[in-house]
Amino acid sequence: MDIGTIGGILFAIGMILVGQALEGGHVGSLLQLTAAMIVFGGTIGAVMVSFPFHEFTRGIKMAGGTLTHKKSDLQKIVEQLVDLAGVARRDGVLALEQRLPELKDPFLKRAVGFIVDGVDATVARDALETEITHEFEEGAVGAKIFESMGGYAPTIGILGAVLGLIHVMENLNDPSKLGGGIATAFVATVYGVGSANLIFLPFGNKIKRKLTAEKERRILIAEGALSIQAGLNPRVLREKLLAYAGLHGLPEPKKE
């Protein structure tokens, strides 16, 4: 589990509420159904207009991905590709077919499949790169949906505050209600600014970071597979892939 996502939100909201409580503020005065309706209703509506519906639902689902943590397996992939390069050098690329069932990662499987099928190198590179870009951009829409919510929420929060102030201004003749009315109006600002800065924008950014990591992982696989097809020396391949993986300084495995 990605402790940063849950932990970060709890830490941020906790610190803010404790700070507020120490100051003597009542947390209860921050709970207002109408402000929540205005800010979150407006934000969700604006995003529904902004994106086609299937992109909207996909983006919301991607929020779940920010909660899970996948351990980096770049080193394992490098060794796997160097191993496959050794097989290809010794026994020819067709010998890779027997290794296909061992390969768990579907993208690696498809890349090695291209080699075994004898697909032309240019076509293989084009197909692999297109898939990487496509997958990344499709995911990036998910990140954009959260960034979009992070952009709408504070302005709709201000909209809610102005609506509240209009209401207050119309009842200026009862000054005793003045302060409470303004306080209520400000809660919409708190919801808008708070949700944007503690949830929406951070979620959008984390989705993007995870997509970037996955993209780099796939570029590593694609470069490895295409280099195997080109008959690159396993030793040189290892050096090259370590550069791609950003793993220089890694000791060589003993078995080689």
- Contact indicator for 20, 29 with CB cutoff of 8 Å: no
- Total residues belonging to the chain: 256
| Nearest-approach distance from CB 73 to a second copy, in angstroms | 14
Least Cβ distance, residue 80 to a second copy (angstroms): 19
* Least distance CB 62 / a second copy (angstroms): 14
> Do the Cβ atoms of 245 and 222 come closer than 8 Å?
no
Residue with tokens 């505050």: 161
The residue (of 21 and 94) whose beta carbon lies closer to a second copy is 21
Q: b or e along 74-109 (b: 16 or more beta carbons within 10 Å of the residue's beta carbon)? A: beebbbbbbbbbbbbbeeebeebeebeeebeeebbe
Cβ neighbours for 172, distance < 8 A, ≥ 6 positions apart = 178
Q: Which C-beta is closer to a second copy: that of 94 or that of 167?
A: 167
Measured on CA atoms in the order 75, 61, 139, 40, is the torsion positive or negative?
negative
**What's the min distance (Å) between Cβ of 253 and a second copy?**
19
Quote the least distance from Cβ 234 to a second copy, whole Å.
13
Q: What is the largest CA-CA distance in the chain?
A: 92
Q: Min. distance of Cβ 64 from a second copy in angstroms?
A: 14
71 membership: H or E segment, kind and range:
none
Closest CA to 217 of 225, 182, 143: 225
Angle at the Cα of 201 from the Cα atoms of 199 and 202, rounded to 5 degrees = 65
Residue 67 CB, nearest approach to a second copy (Å): 10
| CB nearer to a second copy: pick between 4 and 86 | 4
**94/243 with CB nearer a second copy:** 243
Q: Kindly tell me which of 96 and 190 has the beta carbon lying closer to a second copy.
A: 190
Residue closer to a second copy, measured from CB, 62 or 199: 199
**Residue 57 or 98: which CB sits closer to a second copy?**
57
